[in-house]
């Protein structure tokens, strides 16, 4: 027998691959917890069996040490955690809320405390009547299959399609996690209730022309309902994106809109004409009235003046008849003669009428023609 060759009864069975090692480890663990011990290997005939190794890390103790080391390592790895910016950590101790942690590196007691991260900076949204397929710059929307979400009944019994969106953020992470089971569904249900009620209380035309007012009222009422439910969210915006009649009645609706626009245009033109003509007529009437009043005052004042003058002349005439008569005659001639073109002087000694040539008057009335300019040679 060669020197380096062991006898068949002394050979040790070499372990196989990783599967054999794993199977052997599982069997050792089972034997350790079952309280069984393997039979000691038998030596050659007449020889005592080899002594088994003893110690805290032999046999079952080795398996227990391995399991304990694995548990300790796993606990140490899970004891530290990191909260990213924009997140809040909610720590439970024995299933009850204990504290919140801010962004950074933190420690928790393994197997005693449990931590859940909540994103409090991201804006969440719920869409009604459509869905966003791509959230890029050229966003695409899908309306097919979501028509029933947008159908509403207005206060004047008209059917209208209203597509809107609700954007909100987490304001209280503890309430967000543990007070309401499904916050997104609560937001959808409350938003549908509020929006349908507000639209249902208004007329069709009012809804079309006052979407900003309706959206502001709906957002305020929705926030109140979510606060009463302790949902832990803050509604940022509620925006009515698209308000249209249903596709089946759009042609008739467009005709009504055209007729309504024509009516408004005619009314505006009539009001414009009214505002232009009526003030002008009122101004003209006021001017005529004022002129008539001024003329009346002038005539009255003139009549009063002539009356006073006549009374004064009568008084003077009674005092000096001849002088007053002569003065009146001269004043009359002074007013009449400047308006006469030709004056004739009648004298008893003359055989014919002698006309009086008033050179100064003709000079004033007949302009002297300017000499014609001689053309240049």
pLDDT tens per residue across span 316-353: 888 888 888 888 888 888 888 788 777 666 666 666 66
Confidence of residue 377 (pLDDT cuts 50, 70, 90): very low
Average pLDDT over residues 233-250: 87
From 36-50, 105-119, 184-198, the region with the lowest mean pLDDT: 36-50
pLDDT band at 60 (very low <50, low <70, confident <90, very high): low
Across the chain, mean pLDDT equals 78
How far is Cα 123 from Cα 192, in angstroms, rounded to an integer? 19
* pLDDT for residue 33 is more than 60: no
pTM beyond cutoff 0.75: no
What is the model's pLDDT at position 250?
Answer: 76
Q: How far apart are CA 17 and CA 129, in angstroms?
A: 61
How far apart (Å, rounded) are the C-alpha atoms in residues 334 and 326?
12
- The yes-or-no verdict on residue 11 having pLDDT over 60 is no
Task: Please report, for residues 31, 33, 64, 115, the alpha-carbon distance to residue 19 in angstroms, rounded to integers and kept in the order given.
Answer: 18, 21, 21, 37
User: Domains plus CATH for the chain?
Assistant: 80-119 (no CATH), 124-244 (3.30.479.30), 249-360 (no CATH)
Give yes or no for residue 267 having a pLDDT over 50: yes
What pLDDT is recorded for position 291? 92
Q: H or E segment at 127?
A: strand 124-128
How distant, in Å, are the alpha carbons of 58, 63, 83, 107, 294 from that of 77?
A: 27, 21, 16, 11, 108
Residue 333 confidence (pLDDT): 83
């Amino acid at each position: 027998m060669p020197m380096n060759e062991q006898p068949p009864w002394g050979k040790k069975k070499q372990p196989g691959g990783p599967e054999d090692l794993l199977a052997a480890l599982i069997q050792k663990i089972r034997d350790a917890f079952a309280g069984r011990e393997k039979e000691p290997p038998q030596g050659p005939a007449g020889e005592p069996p080899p002594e088994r190794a003893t110690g805290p890390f032999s046999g079952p103790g080795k398996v227990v040490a391995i399991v304990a080391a694995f548990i300790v390592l796993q606990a140490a790895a899970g004891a530290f955690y990191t909260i990213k910016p924009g997140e809040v950590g909610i720590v439970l101790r024995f299933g009850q809320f204990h504290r919140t942690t801010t962004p950074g590196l933190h420690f928790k007691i393994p197997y005693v405390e449990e931590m859940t991260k909540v994103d409090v900076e991201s804006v969440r949204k719920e869409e009604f009547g459509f869905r966003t397929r791509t959230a890029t710059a050229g966003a695409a929307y899908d309306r097919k299959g979501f028509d029933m979400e947008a159908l509403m009944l207005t206060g004047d019994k008209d059917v209208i399609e209203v597509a809107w969106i609700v954007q909100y953020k987490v304001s209280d992470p503890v309430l967000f996690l543990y007070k309401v089971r499904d916050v997104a569904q609560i937001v959808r249900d409350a938003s549908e209730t509020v929006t349908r009620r507000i639209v249902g209380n208004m007329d069709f035309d009012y809804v079309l022309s006052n979407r900003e007012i309706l959206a502001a009222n709906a957002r305020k009422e929705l926030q109140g309902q979510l606060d009463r439910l302790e949902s832990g969210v803050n509604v940022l915006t509620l925006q009515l994106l698209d308000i249209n009649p249903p596709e089946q009645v759009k042609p008739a609706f467009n005709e009504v809109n055209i007729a309504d626009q024509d009516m408004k245009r005619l009314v505006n033109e009539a009001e414009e004409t009214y505002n232009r003509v009526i003030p002008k007529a009122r101004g003209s009437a006021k001017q005529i009235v004022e002129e008539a009043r001024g003329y009346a005052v002038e005539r009255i004042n003139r009549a009063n003046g002539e009356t006073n003058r006549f009374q004064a002349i009568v008084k003077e005439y009674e005092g000096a008849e001849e002088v007053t008569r002569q003065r009146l005659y001269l004043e009359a001639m002074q007013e009449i003669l400047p308006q006469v073109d030709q004056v004739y002087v009648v004298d008893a000694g003359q055989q014919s009428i002698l006309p009086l040539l008033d050179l100064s008057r003709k000079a004033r009335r007949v302009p002297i023609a300017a000499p014609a300019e001689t053309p240049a040679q």
